[in-house]
Structure 1
Amino acid sequence: MSDLKRTPLYPVYAEFGAKTIDFGGWDLPVQFSSITQEHEAVRTKAGLFDVSHMGEVEVKGTGALTYLQKLVTNDVAKLTDGMAQYAAMCYPDGGIVDDLIVYKLADEHYLLVINAGNINKDFAWMQENLTDHVELTNISSQLALLAIQGPSAEKILQTLTDTPLQEIGFFHFKENVTVAGVTCLVSRSGYTGEDGFELYVESDNAITLWNILLEAGKESGLLPCGLGARDTLRFEAKLPLYGQELSKDITPIEAGIGFAVKTDKEIPCIGHEVLQEQKANGAPRKLVGIEMIDRGIPRSHYPVYLGEKLIGEVTTGTQSPTLKKNIGLALLKKEHTAIGTEVEVEIRGKRLRAQIIPTPFYKRGK
């Protein structure tokens, strides 16, 4: 018997040819057809992802805003009902507890969406830093989450709902949207570099919605997609992954998500002093893009050298399905991060040449 956790959609994986792996304690599909085919579908048509392993925490109460301002790096006071915001939670030394999305449902009522492998750790951190007049509830097991991503996502989803989807802007959402008879919270953000929507539904409705979406999108080329394509898509768009670009040993400024750190808000977040100093004067390390000159694929944790000097390591690397190049993200000492700098990546005991290049590697419409 497997002791891996499973999402409400696990029973239908086999029908669609899923190959599953252990991902942070979850039994999840790495691919359904092939990573390349699924990646291409999202870039050109649409893909459907089961993201139900993600965690959801409700934050309620008269002290909710004050609490969240202390807890996360972004300025939650700027949210109005129906808006979402990307942020991080940090330790006092500036290292990252997790990255997350904050949804404002109403005054005194927020939903935090956190990473699957961090649910227990995050919730413990939230409780440890709890302030007065706030109620926290971990509702992760009650919800399933489907993501439809790609240029055809809106067209496909619109056939199943009367809600005008064009009215949902980027990082906005609507509650109580009926999609093929299923009530959903529908948001528009995504983790692929493409347009798309997230559908939060009660767990019992996940399989019904999954099947209806795939049937509705069949003619438009909608494919079920796994973690493999999710990773290559987010990597090309330079969207960070916890455990690779983000960790307790990396600050948001080093990781390139300084846009989600607001050091001038009225209530400073945990880690404020370190983040303020790095935002003003620069961090000691910087996340950059590299492209291999010699033949070889850079992988996570491969060392990067300049001459005989170790200057950092690769956080994520692969052969880009879109660009057909061997590229990577690397966290390097900031004094060696100029575009065009030639470095060496140690791959299986050999140092191979690479060059620092601009990021993101892929941008929609370009």
Structure 2
Amino acid sequence: MTRRTPLNDAHRALGARMVDFAGWDMPVQYSSVIAEHEAVRNAVGLFDVSHMGEIEFTGPGALETANRLITNDLSKCADGQALYAGLLDEQGGFVDDVVAYRFSPERILIVVNASNKDKDFAWMLARAEGVKPVDRSDDYAQIAVQGPKAAALVQRLTPVDLTKIGTYRFAEGKVAGIACIVSRTGYTGEDGFELYCAPGDAEALWKALLQEGQADGVKPCGLGARDSLRTEMKFALYGNDIDDAHTALEAGLGWICKLDKAGGFIGRDALAKQKAEGLQRKLVGFEVTGSGIPRHGYPLLKDGQRVGEVTSGTQGPSVKKPIGMGYVPVELSTEGSTFDVEIRGRAVPAVVVKTPFWKK
């Protein structure tokens, strides 16, 4: 049965086009993907991300238990700091990519992808040594407020001094009178906040943000704009660009894997071995230089031979070019390397470029 976020009625009232996403009834767009994308790049957009999962570790040993499960190092964080990390299998492939929040050494919250929530929780439960995780997903709704005018909008609704919250930092406080976790994080490449609140408060918070943001040109945004925004930043999407068949090093995410972390992490030894032996393939960003838009699953060809496939692709609304990502042999991964994308039976030329595609 398709699940609904606490904002489902609000989306329908705004005329959103709804689709099934990871078993959730979610808005793909309200007006147009391009208009919503441009609102986030130039003003401010609101996203319902309440479908995301939240898994909590509490009590003595919470930090140590959670830290052994993730690739990044929470012990090097301050309280009130978040970090991007992987959950990896023993081969170094992705179980999921997550954001971990350190409230204190005795309270860690890990935010996981909606499509992986049950799998991730079972995986953590089986491997947690010490503190057992608790699935808190039904206790949180989440609204992302993203764009150059996001901070000013949220600031007008909260007594919390947002200038004191740096990127990947968070605080607890009230927004529009509603108790929230206020996190300076996002998936768009723009400044902004992700606001976590109780599900029963979500609609009031959403409406307050929409009302207060009218003068800023706020737009509600769907999954379509979320995807085009993150693709322009070369932010990986689980199930497309990262999965259990590709390692964190191949995905270019070695920077979130602290191989020298005390206590290590699951998958560490496989990554250390791969690093020593050298990579055979890498995830690259490319621009299509011919006519056509690369889409997920399209073959990548070199001299007519298949060498990979598109993991994500779109016509970038901000970069105004057809762009994509895909895994290619390491010899084709350097900037300026060329190959073809097979688009509807045609071999269309493409070139590897420096990412992110979108630079302010």
Question: Match of 2:297?
Answer: 301
Instruction: Answer yes or no: is 1:157 the counterpart of 2:157.
Output: no
Counting aligned pairs with the same residue, the percent is: 48
Mapped contact 1:311–1:336 kept (Cα < 8 A): no
Q: Decide whether the 8 Å contact of 2:125 with 2:132 is kept in 1.
A: no
Q: Deviations over 1:214-272 (max 9, x none)?
A: 00000110100000000000110111100011101011111111110000011111111
Paired with 1:169 and 1:7, the residues of 2 have a C-alpha distance of 29
Name the SS of the counterpart of 1:17 in structure 2. coil
Output aligned runs, 1:326-345, within 5 Å. 326-345=322-341
Aligned residue in 1 for 2:48: 50
The answer as to 2:300 corresponding to 1:321 is no
| 1:80-159 → structure 2 map (5 Å cutoff) | 80-132=78-130, 134-159=131-156
The letter of the residue matching 1:206 is A
Between 158-167 and 305-314, report the one with greater CA deviation.
305-314
Q: Following the alignment from structure 1 to structure 2, what is the Cα–Cα distance between the partners of residues 20 and 76?
A: 37
Give the superposed CA RMSD. 1.1
Tell me the distance in 2 between the aligned counterparts of 1:168 and 1:346.
Answer: 45
Q: Name the structure 1 match of 2:344.
A: 348
In 1, are the aligned partners of 2:66 and 2:108 still within 8 Å (CA)?
no
Q: 1:95 touches 1:248 (CA, 8 Å); kept in 2? A: yes
Deviation, structure 1 residue 287:
1.1
- Does the 8 A contact of 1:299 with 1:316 survive in 2? yes
1:123-161: CA deviations, max 9, x gaps?
Answer: 0000110212x0311010111000100000011111111
Structure 1 residues 237, 269: CA separation in 2 closer, same or farther (over 3 Å shift)? same
Query: Which residue identity is paired with 2:5?
Result: T
Counterparts of 1:81 and 1:282, CA distance in 2: 36
Mapped to 1, the partners of 2:201 and 2:38 lie a distance apart of: 28
2:249 maps to which residue?
Answer: 253
Which whole-Å CA distance do the structure 1 matches of 2:319 and 2:128 have between them?
A: 46
- Equivalence for 1:171: 168
Q: Which residue number in structure 2 is paired with residue 200 of structure 1?
A: 196
CA distance in 2, matches of 1:282, 1:167: 42
- Residues 1:23 and 2:43 are matched in the alignment: no
In 2, Cα distance between equivalents of 1:34 and 1:204 = 29
After TM superposition, the score normalised by the length of structure 2 is 0.98
In structure 1, runs of 5+ residues without a counterpart are none
**Cα offset, 1:336, TM superposition:** 1.4
Contact 2:332 2:338 in 1 (8 A): no
Counterpart secondary structure, 1:305: strand
The counterpart of 1:288, out of the listed 284, 289, 293, is 284
**5+ long unaligned stretches in structure 2:** none
Distance (whole Å) between structure 1 residues aligned to residue 337 and residue 120 of structure 2: 38
Q: What is the rounded CA distance, in whole Å, between the counterparts of 1:268 and 1:345 in structure 2?
A: 39
Q: What is the number of equivalent residue pairs in this alignment?
A: 360
In 1, distance between residues paired with 2:258 and 2:89? 16
Which SS does the other structure have where 1:135 is aligned? coil
Q: 1:66: Cα distance to partner?
A: 2.4
Q: Which of 44, 61, 74 is 1:63 aligned to?
A: 61
